[in-house]
């Protein structure tokens, strides 16, 4: 756990009464919005990220808003780092009730230019990281017969898009993994669902989307705008509620109508 910038004294005792939610890539963007939302909903939130400084800052913000949070170093691209982080969670909290597999990387590369190292890295983080975190979390969830796994996929895992060969394929795999987990983990009281965002205004899209890409997306989205991170966080929060107890193995696009849209101009 990275304690320096966070109020670690709030966590000197295991919070056995409060459900623990782990958000990977929780430091900025969607992950930060999800972390803040789940803290508001009463979870003790573990903000897991490779960027320790940003994770500390997000956990500190949650604490300043009277929520419970702590930052946690985790590189979802490394099996060792994931195992170390879960060993720490087990020792410190003895539970992980909600896992949001949000950490992900993206790139836009033409199919014929896809390079193997980049492809492998994308799969390692977006797919294998989700698999490994979910295995660790599900073992803890199983002991309490309750758990919620929410995988952040993408509309790129549902619809093809130019240059999305590795990213889109990794997100389609994350959707497949969600369904697989859903049917095998239901017997332990665990559900697994996926939220598939359309374009969201985050550091990722600010870096990756040119003005042309942005304009083209906005033209194709019936809502005519990008989502806010908070709108995606709201959908994630739904899957943690009792209202969603019987919702399992589903993919919810949160996309302003983008997936539903075919020909927009008539």
Residue 66 neighbours by CB distance under 10 Å:
8
Could you tell me the smallest distance in angstroms from the CB atom of residue 75 to ligand NAD?
4
Identify which of residues 50 and 140 has a Cβ nearer to ligand NAD in the complex: 50
Residues contacting 59, CB < 8 A, separation 6+: 5, 6, 35, 45, 47, 69, 70, 71
Q: Which residues bind ligand NAD (CB under 6 A)?
A: 24-25, 27-31, 49-51, 54, 74-77, 102-106, 125, 152, 154, 197, 199-200, 202-205
- The b/e string for 119-149 (b: 16+ C-beta within 10 A; e otherwise) is bebbebbbbbbbbbbbebbbebbeeeebbbb
- Residues near 161 by beta carbon (within 8 Å), at least 6 away in sequence: 168
Report, in Å, the least distance between residue 4 CB and ligand NAD: 18
Q: Which of 167, 188, 226, 246 is catalytic?
A: 167
For residue 47, give Cα distances in angstroms to 57, 103, 124, 172: 10, 11, 20, 25
Q: Tell me, yes or no, if 167 is annotated catalytic.
A: yes
Query: Contact, 171 vs 156, CB < 8 A?
Result: yes
| Nearest CA among 157, 140, 144, 146 for reference residue 244 | 146
CA distance 102 to 170: 13
CB-nearer residue toward ligand NAD: 18 or 78: 78
d(CA 64, CA 60): 6
Measured from the CB of residue 89, what is the shortest distance to ligand NAD in angstroms?
15
Residue number, 42 or 203, with CB nearest to ligand NAD: 203
Q: How far apart are CB 196 and ligand NAD at their closest, in Å?
A: 7
- Would you say 186 or 218 has its CB closer to ligand NAD? 218
Of the pair 31, 147, the CB lying nearest ligand NAD is at 31
How many CB atoms are closer than 10 A to CB 53?
12
Helix axes 29-40, 52-64, angle to 10 degrees: 30
C-beta of 74: minimal distance to ligand NAD in Å? 5
Show which residues are catalytic.
167
């Amino acid at each position: 756990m990275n304690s320096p910038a966070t109020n670690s004294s709030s966590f000197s005792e295991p919070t056995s009464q409060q459900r623990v939610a782990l958000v990977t890539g929780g430091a900025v963007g969607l992950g930060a919005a999800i972390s803040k939302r789940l803290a508001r909903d009463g979870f003790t939130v573990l903000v897991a990220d490779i960027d320790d400084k940003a994770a500390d800052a997000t956990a500190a913000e949650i604490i300043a808003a009277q929520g419970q949070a702590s930052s946690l170093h985790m590189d979802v691209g490394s099996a060792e780092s994931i195992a170390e982080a879960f060993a720490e969670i087990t020792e410190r909290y003895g539970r992980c009730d909600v896992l949001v597999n949000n950490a992900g990387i993206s790139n836009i590369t033409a199919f014929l230019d896809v390079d193997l190292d980049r492809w492998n890295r994308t799969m390692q983080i977006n797919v294998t990281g989700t698999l490994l975190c979910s295995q660790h979390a599900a073992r803890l969830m199983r002991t309490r017969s309750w758990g919620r796994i929410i995988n952040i996929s993408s509309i790129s895992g549902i619809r093809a898009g130019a240059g999305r060969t590795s990213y889109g394929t990794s997100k389609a795999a994350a959707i497949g993994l969600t369904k697989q987990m859903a049917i095998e983990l239901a017997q332990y009281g665990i559900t697994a669902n996926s939220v598939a965002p359309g374009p969201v205004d985050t550091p990722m899209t600010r870096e990756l989307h040119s003005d042309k890409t942005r304009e083209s997306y906005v033209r194709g989205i019936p809502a005519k705008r990008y989502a806010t991170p908070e709108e995606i966080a709201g959908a994630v929060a739904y899957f943690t509620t009792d209202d969603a107890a019987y919702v399992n193995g589903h993919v919810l696009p949160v996309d302003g109508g983008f997936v539903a849209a075919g020909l927009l101009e008539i």
